[in-house]
Amino acid sequence: MAIGQVQAPAGEAANYGLGACRGFHKRAAAGLSGRWMLGVGLLAVYVFIVGMAAGVGLANLLKHEEHETVLGLPLGALAAGLVVWWLWRVKKRRDGDSVALCEEGMIVTERGKIAPIRWDEIAALSQKVQTLFVNGIKTGTTFQYTLSLRNGATRKIYPQLERIAELGAAIDSEVTRRLLPSYVAMFDAGQPIVLGEFTLTRQGIARYGQLLPWEQVANVYPNAGFLIVTSRARSAAELVAKKTLEGVRTAITSVAGTRTPMSARGEVGWAKAPAAKIPNLSILLRLASQCQGVRFE
């Protein structure tokens, strides 16, 4: 990372009382793609036709049919030109999108608007990480992060920023570090911890009214955009049935990079939920890792 990139928002960070700037992530450089140009061109043609039709209609309304072309062509060209200019302006403004990470928060710049966010203003972080496969071959991964603020507002961090995975990991680490102690204190005090579809208590982890005691929890982990919760197999018959089901699924689908089958680990699937719908996923994983296999008195 160039020194100039880190120092660029330093003045803004100082103005907002966010401390020193530790990293700067701007929108990834992108030229005029063929798809973007084609879309703009088709829209311009459509607007030109509509504008020309409006000019012809105006000429007929004024009973100057001989001036249809005189009014139609300039009006259509003007409308198309305004649309192209507006789209170009929007694109240039989005090219300035960035996130500056600071000691006490971050500065989010989106569409020319600057929004300082302090770490203590963040109530939750949601993560949507999707790994894309084509014919069983990994083709890429997309990242999107959503901040839920204590005042009820939300702020999305879009995937077009440079080093988005690094940025998301840094935000997740800072949010988790600051929020985890309060969650641990609540848990130790016997208060239920509600994170999306899951509720964590000293008795176990619950979902939709079903409780899995901690001593029966085998594993809690994210996989392919989902949070997976497994339980320990309660009998040999249950494990055999699980192996049979996994064999059928393997024969139907094949996905690169899958984990060791649950049955081979002596586990049975208990819950599967989209990770993107679980706020503060890292905190849930931290708490669950400390509790699974434990019986609280």
User: Are 205 and 268 in contact, with CB atoms under 8 Å apart?
Assistant: no
User: Are 155 and 115 in contact, with CB atoms under 8 Å apart?
Assistant: yes
Given a cut of 50, whether residue 224 has pLDDT beyond it is yes
- The whole-number pLDDT of residue 109 equals 86
Q: How far, rounded to the nearest angstrom, does the alpha carbon of residue 112 sit from its chain's CA centroid?
A: 21
User: Are 67 and 75 in contact, with CB atoms under 8 Å apart?
Assistant: no
* pLDDT tens, position by position, 4-54: 334 445 556 667 788 888 888 887 655 444 555 666 666 666 666 766 677
CA distances from 137 to 141, 246, 248, 249, 260 (A): 12, 21, 21, 18, 18
Q: Where are the beta strands (DSSP E) in the chain?
A: 21-26, 98-102, 105-110, 113-118, 122-134, 137-149, 154-157, 193-195, 198-200, 204-207, 210-213, 217-223, 226-232, 267-274
Most confident of 135-144, 242-251, 258-267: 135-144
- The whole-number pLDDT of residue 18 equals 87
Q: Which residues of 56-95 are buried (b: 16+ CB within 10 A; e: fewer)?
A: beebeeeeeeeebeebbeebbbebbeebeeeeeeeeeeee
The number of helix segments (H) and strand segments (E) in the chain equals 7, 14
Q: Which two tokens stand for residue 207?
A: 């979902």
80 sits in the region (left: phi over 0; alpha: psi -120 to 50; else beta) called: alpha
Question: How many Cβ atoms from other residues are within 10 Å of residue 264's Cβ?
Answer: 12
- The whole-number pLDDT of residue 58 equals 61
Q: Whole-angstrom Cα distance, residue 71 to residue 68?
A: 5
Confidence of residue 286 (pLDDT cuts 50, 70, 90): very high
Confidence of residue 194 (pLDDT cuts 50, 70, 90): very high
- The whole-number pLDDT of residue 158 equals 77
Greatest extent of the chain over all pairs of C-alpha atoms, in Å? 93
- The whole-number pLDDT of residue 75 equals 65
* pLDDT tens, position by position, 54-94: 766 666 666 655 555 555 566 667 776 777 666 656 555 55
- The whole-number pLDDT of residue 154 equals 93
Confidence of residue 243 (pLDDT cuts 50, 70, 90): very low
* pLDDT tens, position by position, 126-183: 998 877 777 777 777 888 899 999 999 999 887 778 888 999 999 999 999 999 999 9
Q: Whole-angstrom Cα distance, residue 39 to residue 87?
A: 11
